[in-house]
Amino acid sequence: MSVVPLRTGRLIVVSNRVALPRQTATGGLASAMRAALQEAGGVWFGWSGKIAAETAATVHHLYDGPVHYATIDLSRGDHDHFYDGFANRTLWPLLHYRPDLVDYNRGHLDGYLRVNGIFADRLAAVVEPDDVIWVNDYHLIPLASMLRERGVRNRIGFFLHTPLPAAGLLIALPRHRELLETLASYDLVGLHTARDLRALEEYFVHETGARLRGGHRLRLGHRRFRAGVFPIGIDTQHVADAAAQAGTLDPIEDLRSSLEGRALIIGVDRLDYSKGLPQRFDAYARLLERAPRLHRRVSFLQIAPPSRSTVPEYRQIRRDLERKAGHINGMYAAPDWVPIRYVNKSFPHSVLSGYYRNAKVGLVTPMRDGMNLVAKEYVASQNPDDPGVLVLSRFAGAAQELGEALLVNPADTEEVADALELALAMPLEERRQRWRAMMDVLEQQDITAWRRSFVAALRE
């Protein structure tokens, strides 16, 4: 019997942020998608990261290995309303449980819908009947409904990379029903955790009157769609190999020699208020206050590349952190010891993995985070014979899988300081056991497994 191969068509990934070849991607979506597409190949469509006189005047094409990048520029006005405005000043704070920061400017939503319409125009012109379209994140919620309006009948999936708060909070979003109901135009909606999935179902059932059936199937009017939990992973083996080989790189040797035997605590985050950085600095200061024996014995390296720096709240957090770091160093530093090394620069993965491996503690304490890939990268980078300890916020999606980390409430200064003390003193055997349990999860649920399971569910 001859087997006729199935025609599966291309995979078209759509996201606002695209990691172009040889660019450092300081966001999780871009670094994960880059790894996900490397094996499967496909088209990656999104914003070029550039501002031009007109939005999407041309589509820029770039071919690198199995990936075809197709990107568009944004006009200044569209960038300000769509990306800075509705995506990052309205949706982002709400999705991260900060309704106090939500901006209700009406022009932002108009700009958001306009740019989604342009994405839909450009995509509808190139989609072929067998293609599968995978839309990513809160910038592009209405994209499927706009593609459907343009006659696209393909399978279309959506993945939300941020947390999804409960319905009671979601209704604080301006015109929330009009926007969120458009999720029903997808065939599959993916989320990082079971809590996010519950929030989605609760919202649809109670706010839109959708019917919930078994297998997380929802029906709203004539549209049927399915929702599911797909926790994103990392390229575990690649990160582990890179970390093991990083020891001879200059930046790693420089860091190691500068430590002079001190224990390193490391944090790596975009400079974002959701990452809990001021609270983290306070917890470290509390540790120094109550454990003078640790003075000159520890060093805290916080890498925090600037992010979304035209949004006022992001400029404010930068000022707050500079003040805090200066205050803590002023209070505790000695001529030969700086307690906090605060670096507003981004580093490539090859260097970061070496830094992680040299750190006794990975300090990952967001107030809310969809997943947090840094937590996973820290674990994957450890030396199996002498692994460090992960201190992780309960409010990061990663805490659902990495239960062997020291889980903390990032707002509780004493609890984080306790966890730091425990981590710095943890015996080797316990460190090994905790690390092995976490590494097993990361090996099984890596980035390839994530991409495969989402795409398989979408094609079903």
Would you tell me which residues interact with ligand UDP (CB under 6 A)? 24-29, 31, 268, 270, 303, 305, 346-347, 349, 352, 371-374, 377
97 vs 337, beta carbon nearer ligand UDP: 97
DSSP codes, 122-182: HHHTT--TT-EEEEESGGGTTHHHHHHHTT--SEEEEE--S----HHHHTTSTTHHHHHGG
Residue 161 binds ligand L263DTV3, judged by CB under 6 A: yes
Partner that binds at residue 164, options ligand L263DTV3, ligand UDP, none, CB closer than 5 to 8 Å by kind:
none
Name which of 46 and 387 has its Cβ closer to ligand L263DTV3.
46
CA 122, CA 110: separation in Å to the nearest integer?
19
Amino acid at 7: R
Pair type for strands 217-220 and 223-229: antiparallel
Strand pairing class (67-75; 60-64) = antiparallel
Give the shortest CB-286-to-ligand L263DTV3 separation in angstroms. 26
Q: CA end-to-end span of the chain, whole Å?
A: 24
- Is there a contact between 73 and 52 (Cβ–Cβ < 8 Å)? yes
Nearer to ligand UDP, 324 or 349 (CB): 349
Residue 32 CB, shortest distance to ligand UDP, in Å, is: 7
Rounded Cα–Cα distance for residues 135 and 50 (Å):
20
Binders of ligand L263DTV3 among 305-364, rule CB under 6 A? 307-308
Q: Is 161 a catalytic residue?
A: yes
Shortest spacing between CB 238 and ligand UDP, in angstroms: 12
CB of 311 to ligand L263DTV3, least distance (A): 10
- Residue nearer to ligand UDP on the CB measure, 111 or 233: 233
Measured from the CB of residue 161, what is the shortest distance to ligand UDP in angstroms? Answer: 7
- Shortest distance, position 128 Cβ to ligand L263DTV3, whole Å: 26
246 in contact with ligand L263DTV3 (CB under 6 A):
no
Contact between 401 and ligand L263DTV3 by CB under 6 A: the answer reads: no
**3-class DSSP state for residue 219?**
strand
Rg (CA), the chain: 22
Write out the binding residues for ligand L263DTV3, residues 264-293 only, by CB under 6 A. Answer: none
Q: In terms of Cα–Cα distance, which of 211, 225, 222 is closest to 156?
A: 225
Contact between 299 and 341 (Cβ < 8 Å):
yes
Residue 55 or 163 having the CB closest to ligand UDP: 163
**Closest of 106, 118, 108 to residue 16, by C-alpha:** 118
Catalytic residue among 161, 187, 192, 269: 161
Q: Is residue 27 within the footprint of ligand L263DTV3 (CB under 6 A)?
A: yes
Q: Which long-range contacts (CB under 8 A, 24 or more apart) does 174-180 make?
A: 174/90, 174/104, 174/106, 174/109, 175/109, 176/207, 177/207, 177/208, 179/109, 179/141, 179/142, 180/141, 180/207, 180/208
How many residues of this chain interact with ligand L263DTV3, rule: CB under 6 A?
17
Pick from 134, 122, 162: which is nearest to 396 by CA? 162
349 binds, among ligand UDP, ligand L263DTV3, none (CB under 5 to 8 A by kind): ligand UDP
Judged by CB, which is closer to ligand L263DTV3: 332, or 450? Answer: 450
Please identify every residue annotated as catalytic.
Answer: 161, 369
Residue numbers at the binding site for ligand L263DTV3 (CB under 6 A): 17, 27-30, 32, 137, 161-162, 232, 307-308, 369-373
